[in-house]
Structure 1
Amino acid sequence: MVLFLIVHFFQDYFLNYSNAIIRFNLWDTNLFFAVASLIICVHLKFFSTIKNLQPQLGFIYLPTLFIKGILFFIMFKSSVFNLDVLSTTERLNLIIPLFLFLGLEVYFIVKIIRKIEV
């Protein structure tokens, strides 16, 4: 959640500083990425406690990327995907949080899997 606040307020500061206009709600898109990553990490932490699922955690994680993408499309179809062309600023304000939360997600997943192997 700290990363969510840092990302959001940094984006907000940058947009105000550069007088850029974003045609979708940054709070909602950032919140989606943060909550989706949190849910994935919590579920994989829970699955790591089940002995039969421990060797399969990496394979369980892979479909979550596609599910997250599909849910993002469904939730933001009218606000993001309805726009004909995204400006560079709008693209960056979608891609940067996506990769930051994905990186944090992978970091925690690797920690969970390494803890099991020890």
Structure 2
Amino acid sequence: MIKTLLLYIISFIVLFLVIHLSQDSILNHFNISVRYSLWDTNLFFAISSLVICIHFKFFSFIKSLQPQLGFIYLPTLFIKGILFFIMFQSSVFNLDVLTTAERLNLLTPLILFLGLEVFFIVKIITKNEV
């Protein structure tokens, strides 16, 4: 159990560092600036996905929840979107128009962290079906 949780934490930390450092270097190389904090948005995506994976690992030990894990996972993207809107309403959603670079720098970490999250969730769900 502890080994699995450490794997989740290390995976999300490594992905966070790769994404953030890549974004910084690309933006600096092309002299592009974004009007919101990349650190904060990337950290939100990393932590929210990590929390979901940890919760599902704990949920997988509850026998009555095991058959329902897939259905429990469905609303997490919606909840994550609402939390993102609430937390970044003043910095991201108050901007009139997002540039292409700003859109890509929001979408890329969202997709990558979501991919890692889904990978771990699928492993949890398939392990419980056997």
1:80 matches 2:92: yes
Unaligned runs of at least 5 residues, structure 2: 1-12
Selected match of 1:55 from 67, 76, 81 = 67
Superposed CA RMSD in Å reads 0.4
- Identify the residue that residue 5 of structure 2 maps to in structure 1: none
TM-score by length of 1: 0.99
1:106 matches 2:118: yes
1:22 matches 2:34: yes
How many equivalent pairs are there? 118
1:41 matches 2:53: yes
Measured after TM superposition, the shift of residue 104 of structure 1 is: 0.5
Q: Structure 1: how far apart are the matches of 2:88 and 2:74? A: 22
Secondary structure of 1:80's counterpart equals coil
Unaligned runs of at least 5 residues, structure 1: none
Q: Structure 1: how far apart are the matches of 2:37 and 2:16? A: 14
- Identify the residue that residue 106 of structure 2 maps to in structure 1: 94
Measured after TM superposition, the shift of residue 63 of structure 1 is: 1.1
Q: Structure 2: how far apart are the matches of 1:48 and 1:95? A: 30
Paired AA for residue 33 in structure 1:
F
- Identify the residue that residue 43 of structure 2 maps to in structure 1: 31
**Superposed structure 1 runs of 4+ greater than 6 Å apart:** none
1:70 matches 2:82: yes
Measured after TM superposition, the shift of residue 64 of structure 1 is: 1.0
TM-score by length of 2: 0.90
The C-alpha deviation readout for 1:65-102, integer Å capped at 9, x for no partner, is 11100000000000000000000000000000000000
